[in-house]
Structure 1
């Protein structure tokens, strides 16, 4: 019998050792322990949503969690996941992600309801209440009032401009990205220090902070021996966009405040997230999550799936050897829960690498092409000039063991997951706007002139 690692290599993907080990554990879990894949139109039962027996955490009841950016892709799924398991949840959001779509002429593949309607529907479906506060965390008066009112035990911070291409559109978007992200995080750190010192910060970082070094990527820290002396230091960061650089600034500020103010923080360096379905977001059509496929906010996998569904060539940037970590949205919400349930001690900044598998762009294209053809789709792969400044062939081996040690059982990108994504894209293909698929932002041409009109649609 072949080992799991050998089977994964023959399948054309790189799987982390932690993911291989955890797959063996996951196979022992009954099928009922995984969130079911259901049609969008089908509503889950009230009991199923309110108390998912297979994944409920006894530590959730009564824990007050503020989710900044709770209307976004990861934030919305996390808010419902925690609410269903007994956490007291408050969403804080300024709705800027929706404004980006309006400004740039973009739209999610899936039709999503307003945040007010979402929260109301969740209450009807689950019997659970989610508090909602609309405002900007860069506004100290708003944030301090929100903190004082809700008194969170943990803050999950998703509330940042999260697109590398967006940050490279023009000077205005670059400045906004860094100002919004860095100042917002600073305000959160001050709010914890002044208003709720025992609050645990769970901050979403990104694997992109590390870049693509020619050595293994450790989880946050690296022990170095130099001229006969040894020290453990923050792992060197090599961001490849103004967005990634803003995340690096965040991490540095967090580390400093943990030392100076004894803040307790967990920095989750997340890989690329895929998937739409969680048990909660599929409970009712009004709870459906967003699916971005455009050249600004859409990831390579999302773009490939939509391109396959509508008969557009899969656009591989450059040589396609760019390799990154990936994880299912169901694993994202579970990682957040694990971080909340296992808080860092005051004065410590823990760093977890949050992904389950590694793929190159070429491997993703190969998988989508293969699975698309099984569904009768005519899938063609096409290499296009790379709009980004990045290595297209490189070494990449990132560690990701700490979340597995806490209990994460990954959902891997098996063929069934690709099938479900493709079927989902086919279901909504009438909403696809072909002009948004191609890359329109060139890293080398970022200038001072506002480029809103040309940012989303390639010329």
Structure 2
């Protein structure tokens, strides 16, 4: 298949492009390099050095003999986007090209508006491009488990069979997102579902849990193929932060009591989930939803696991939670769809944490310790 990966220079976009290319698909990537710009804005950088997109693509050709094409531009530029889709003529578009940080969206009004405009309008431009150029293109869109929030009922895969006053219907599962970023993903899901229903588009919405890890079989082939390792309190995920704090001899900073439960997924499973979705497309007019996670665990349990696996003393420190979220909650998520397509999950209890200690140890001189502490507070966003 011909697959266009939007956001193909990013943390997940780049290893996804490599994985699909390695599996025999003809791949192109599109990016506006905004993610690299956020590093400059925030004064941080990836723990693991990353090459330019051009150098990455050249290295992949050198290592594998395979070619990845590239387009540089912005989804907000509809003319550019339409031309790129026409030029590459993809069978599938994988859409990662959005601002992906909840804390970033909560910094202030400006960052909230930017996140909403960038994500929602870019996605809407993409839906029009597909509809007008080739409605048979399968859209594989990365959503987030954060769309659902933490309801006091089981979370189904996207849809809910509802009975009300003696009548039955099938509706999108109710959403209660926890940030302006998560709200954009809800808006995206609704816009995509509408265009599937109204225009006959085909789409797979992947509501993904927290991703951990930095290596896939393809990125491990050459240092020039490395993807990002974010650790700061704005873009870094909780496991990455805990691993770095353990290696640096700092306390693991747990927000509140750490009873907040998160869905988790290994980066190797993320890229495989995308492959499975690409190779098993939704039907015309179908809005298909998969909950893309493999297990769930509380933040406190993740901290305990890191402390247990680290070969040295580790302290755990409880901080006031900067986020507005329930300190304890019910969390039971259905996630059978991708397993049904053939996913064989890696679990956090596997050896990945030990390999992450090695990665951090080799690059700990690149850590800015000041960036590990939270600076964005959900209520503080009102003060701008």
TM-score, normalised to structure 1, is 0.83
Residue correspondences, number: 384
Distance 1:185 1:227 in 2: 36
Task: Please list the CA deviations of residues 206-226 of structure 1 after superposition, one character each: whole Å capped at 9, or x if unmatched.
Answer: 000000000000000011111
Aligned-partner SS, 2:317? strand
Aligned equivalent of 1:154: 92
Does residue 308 of structure 2 align to residue 370 of structure 1? Answer: yes
User: Runs of 4+ in structure 1 displaced over 3 angstroms?
Assistant: none
1:224, 1:335 → 2: CA distance?
28
Q: In the alignment, what sits opposite 2:314?
A: 379
Q: CA deviation at 1:196?
A: 1.3
Deviation at 1:103, TM superposition (A): 1.0
Correspondence for 1:329 among 267, 281, 305: 267
Q: Pick closer, same or farther for the CA change 1:448–1:144 going to 2, 3 Å.
A: farther
- Contact conserved, 1:319 with 1:392, CA < 8 A, in 2? yes
1:180 to 2:115 alignment:
no
Task: Describe the superposition over 1:282-339 as per-residue Cα deviations: whole angstroms up to 9, x where unpaired.
Answer: 1111101110000000111110001001011100001100001101100000000000
CA deviation after TM superposition for structure 1 residue 447, in Å: 3.6
Q: Find out whether 1:446 has 2:384 as its counterpart.
A: no
CA deviations 1:372-428 (Å, max 9, x no partner) are 1xx2x3210000000000011110000000100000000111251111111211121
RMSD of aligned Cα (Å): 0.8
Q: Which has the larger radius of gyration?
A: 1
- Give the corresponding residue for 2:9: 71
- Aligned equivalents of 1:219, 1:73: Cα separation in 2: 25
Show CA shifts across 1:349-390 (max 9, x none): 000000001010000000000111xx2x32100000000000
User: In the alignment, what sits opposite 1:432?
Assistant: 367
For residue 346 of structure 1, the aligned residue among 256, 260, 284 is: 284
Match of 2:40 in 1: 102
- Alignment match, 2:49: 111
SS of corresponding position for 1:446: helix
- Mapped to 1, the partners of 2:199 and 2:128 lie a distance apart of 9
Q: Distance in 1 between matches of 2:239 and 2:306?
A: 8
Among 151, 165, 173, the residue aligned to 1:213: 151
2:338 aligned with 1:400: no
Gaps of 5+ in 2: none
Confirm or deny that 1:301 pairs with 2:236. no
1:421 corresponds to 2:359: no
Distance 1:426 1:291 in 2: 13
Distance in structure 1 (CA, Å) of the matches to 2:304 and 2:214: 21
CA distance in 1, matches of 2:351, 2:290: 28
Residue 240 (str. 1) matches residue 178 (str. 2): yes
Equivalent residue, structure 1, for 2:142? 204
Say whether residues 1:228 and 2:156 are aligned partners.
Answer: no
1:270 matched to 2:208: yes
Shift of 1:448: 6.3
In structure 1, C-alpha distance between the alignment counterparts of 2:297 and 2:333, rounded to whole Å: 12
Q: TM-score, normalised by structure 2?
A: 0.99
The answer as to 2:21 corresponding to 1:83 is yes
